Amino acid sequence: MTNLRVAILGATGLVGQEFIKVLKQRDFPMDSLVLLASGASAGKQVVVDGDEIKVHEATHRLLENVDLALFSAGSEISRVFAPEAARAGVVVVDNSAAFRMEPGIPLVVPEVNPGDLEGHQGIIANPNCSTIQMVVALYPLHRVNPIKRIIVDTYQAVSGTGRAAIEELSEQAKLVLGGEKAVPHVYPHEIAFNVLPHIDVFLENDYSREEWKMEHETRKIMHAEDIRVSATCVRVPVYAGHSEAIHVEFAQPMSPEEARDILGRSPGVRIMDDLDTNLYPHPRAAAGRDEVFVGRIRRDTSHPNGLAMWVVSDNLRKGAALNAVQIAEELVERGWL
Ligand code: L14
């Protein structure tokens, strides 16, 4: 197989930068790497392996000269560039929410539904960060004991929002420690020393769109239209790594030992669960890592068929860039790219 010409759209953003790192770390078979971004970022230099690569303004022409394009520049940009690139024969793995729920567009987590890539039409959607880590942890259990209902509460890092949010958390933390008042810009309220039950916009039914994504994307990825999901998505003053308290109701009872046994053999999962030594996942331990970490696995005392668990993963890696690159690797392996 010949090596691929790869483009990254949104190359200067947090996920864009993570794309570059992950491609390099995994030795992705590429011949060339084109970095694209908005006009505002064009001309910037990005250092890759000691080499400076110039960032170009995204155009249809530049995009159409590659085999694979990884997009993370927001839904609007994806809607402008992805369909045309796909028509020109480029395979687009899109990290935005633009196409995720569109029928016929695969929404893929390689550990769960790689077969959905078959017959793709050029656009493949990368799921939402909170959804990815949840399905990696739950799908192996669902396969042996169907899940009926999921109640999930998230604790999401500010890096999901982007660089401005990271800066806002740092600035506000300094102000608050200095006894001064912080004025919020990125979020509607202070995020330093605070938590906000608000991610993405609020919808008609009073859930947020992030909560809606966890419900609908989970069903699509797991091919489980009957699973009921209720999420509360919360922003916390953490830089990297999303955490989730998950309560699952199965068709039949499942013991914590069985769940640990299954998850211990599941791809992409790492169990961290030893209460005697205070071993459980937390964002500072998960940041920069590839795995979905699972701990605090216990019986849900509120339901005979219930389990409770705590799931943590790096939202920019498995939650975004790593999952997208794994999709591309899967396509290469199966000869679908
Ligand atoms: O990919 O953390 O749908 O504010 C949208 C919300 C990514 C994270 C998505 C956040 C998410 C983002």
Site to probe by mutation for ligand 1, drawn from 199, 243, 315 as the one with most ligand atoms within 8 Å of Cβ, is: 199
Residue 301's pLDDT is 98
Q: Which of 214, 172, 164, 179 is nearest to 193 (CA)?
A: 172
129-144 and 209-222 helices cross at what angle (nearest 10)?
A: 40
Q: Specify the DSSP element, H or E, that contains 311.
A: strand 306-313
Residue 201, judged by CB atoms within 10 A of its CB (0-12, 13-18, 19+), counts as: exposed
The answer to whether the CB of 20 falls within 8 A of the CB of 317 is: no
Report how far residue 154's alpha carbon sits from residue 175's, in angstroms, rounded to the nearest whole number. 27
Q: Which of 101, 200, 214, 235 to mutate to test the pocket of ligand 1 (most atoms within 8 A of CB)?
A: 200
Residue 210 CB–ligand 1 contact under 6 Å: yes
CATH 3.30.360.10 domain position(s) in the chain: 131-314
CB of 15 closer than 6 angstroms to any ligand 1 atom: no
Asked whether 160 lines ligand 1 (CB < 6 A), one says yes
Would you call 123 helix, strand, or coil by DSSP? Answer: strand
pLDDT at 221 over 70: yes
Residue 8: pLDDT over 70: yes
Considering the chain, tell me which residue range(s) the CATH 3.40.50.720 domain(s) occupy: 4-127+320-334
| Residues classed as catalytic | 129, 242
- Please write the tens of the pLDDT for every residue from 89-111: 999 999 999 999 999 999 999 99
User: Which residue's alpha carbon is nearest to atom 3 within ligand 1?
Assistant: 128
How confident is the model over 52-61, as pLDDT tens digits?
999 999 999 9
CATH of domain 131-314: 3.30.360.10
Find the Cα–Cα–Cα–Cα dihedral 336, 92, 45, 171, rounded to 10°.
-120
pLDDT tens sequence across 163-210: 999 999 999 999 999 999 989 999 999 999 999 999 999 999 999 999
pLDDT tens-digit series, residues 303-332:
999 999 999 999 999 999 999 999 999 999
What spacing in Å lies between the alpha carbon of 246 and ligand 1's midpoint?
19
Residues 80 and 174: their CA atoms lie apart, in Å, by 40
**154 touches ligand 1 (CB under 6 Å):** no
SS3 at position 95: coil
* Any ligand 1 atom below 6 A from CB of 157: no
Ligand 1 center–CA 67 separation, angstroms: 27
Ligand 1 pocket mutation, candidates 129, 155, 234, 313, criterion most atoms within 8 A of CB: 129
Cβ of residue 97 lying under 6 Å from some atom of ligand 1:
yes
Report which ligand 1 atom has the smallest distance to the Cα of 320.
1
- Distance of CA 241 to CAs 27, 263, 317, 334, Å? 24, 20, 9, 31
Give the nearest ligand 1 atom to 100 CA.
3
d(CA 26, CA 28): 5
Question: Averaged over 108-135, what is the pLDDT?
Answer: 98
**Does the Cβ of 130 fall within 6 Å of ligand 1?**
no
Q: Is 206 exposed, middle or buried (0-12, 13-18, 19+ CB in 10 A)?
A: exposed
Q: Both ends of the chain: CA-CA distance in Å?
A: 10
Specify the CATH superfamily of domain 4-127+320-334.
Answer: NAD(P)-binding Rossmann-like Domain (3.40.50.720)
pLDDT of residue 49: 80
Give residue 158 CA to ligand 1 midpoint distance, Å. Answer: 10
Closest residue by Cα to atom 7, ligand 1, is 160
256-264 vs 129-144: helix axis angle to the nearest 10? 110
* Percent of all residues in the chain with a pLDDT value above 70, rounded to a whole number: 100
- Distances in Å between the Cα of 152 and the Cα atoms of 101, 135, 202, 272, 294 are 20, 12, 17, 19, 14
Cα of 143 from ligand 1 centre, angstroms: 28
Task: Please give the pLDDT value at position 170.
Answer: 98
